[in-house]
Amino acid sequence: MTVLDDDAATTDLPVAQPLDAPPPVTRIVVVHGLGASSDNHWFGAVRDRYTPHGVEVLVPDLPRSQAPDLDAWLDALADAIGPLDEGTVLVGHSLGCVSILQHLAARQDEWRLGGLALVAGFVEEVPGIPEVDHFVERPLDPGAVVARSRRRHVVVADDDPVVPRRLTETLARVLDADLTVVEGGGHFVAGGGFDRLAALEDVLDAWTPRRASAP
C-alpha cells in the first residue's frame, strides 16, 4: 500500500470510480403523455439543463396525442429511441411511462439501459380515462426492465388528480424503483406551475457526468 504525504494528498488526482459504476449518461429521451407535445410542461427545461453538459436530449412528438394509438406510438418511439446502451436514460410522463415500458417489451435486441425515470406513471387502467386502457392491456416485461436497467426512479405527487398516487406507487414496486413523493405536485403539468420539475432534475443530476447548476 502506498501512503501519500499531506502535500500529495491535496493534489488534483482523479477520483476513483467503483468497479460497477454505470457509464456516464450521454443521451436522455423524454416521452410525453396524453394530449401533450414536446413543447409542454417541463420537457424543454430538461433539454435546456443537460444539453450544455454534453448530453443529447430528445423529446419526440408522438402522433395524435389527443387520441393515441399504442402501435403508432411504438413505431414512433422505435424511430426516435433507436439503439439503447447504458449511456441512455429514458424519461416518461404519465402515459409516456407505460409507453416506454411497452417499447422495451417489444424490442427484439439484447438492450441495456442506463436509467429509467418515470413521472406520474401507471401500468393499470386509470379511472376516467378509457382511451388509454389499451396501453396497459398488452403484456409488459418488468423483470427484463429490472434486469437490464442500471437505475430506476419514480416520481409521484401526493395529490395527483389524474393518475391516482396508488397507481404510480404500484409502478415503482413493479420496477423495484426508488420513489420520490412530491407534496402538492398534482400531475406535474405547466398549468400547475411545473415548467420545471426539480424532483426529476435531482434524479438526473445524480446520473449525468457532472451536476448541472440551476439557472
- Residues with catalytic function: 94, 160, 187
CA-CA distance, 102 to 141, in Å (whole number)?
A: 8
Q: What is the CA radius of gyration of the chain?
A: 18
Beta strands in 68-211, from DSSP E residues, in sequence order: 88-93, 115-119, 152-157, 178-182
Whether 86 and 122 have beta carbons less than 8 Å apart is answered as no
Query: Which string of DSSP letters, residue by residue, matches 64-78?
Result: TTTS--HHHHHHHHH
Whether 130 and 156 have beta carbons less than 8 Å apart is answered as no
C-alpha to C-alpha distances, 109 to 84, 106, 148, 151, 172, nearest whole angstrom: 9, 9, 12, 20, 25
Joined together, the cell numbers standing for residue 212 give 448541472
CA-CA distance, 39 to 194, in Å (whole number)?
A: 13
Whether 170 and 124 have beta carbons less than 8 Å apart is answered as yes
Beta-carbon contacts of residue 12 (< 8 Å; ≥ 6 apart): none
Amino acid in position 178: D
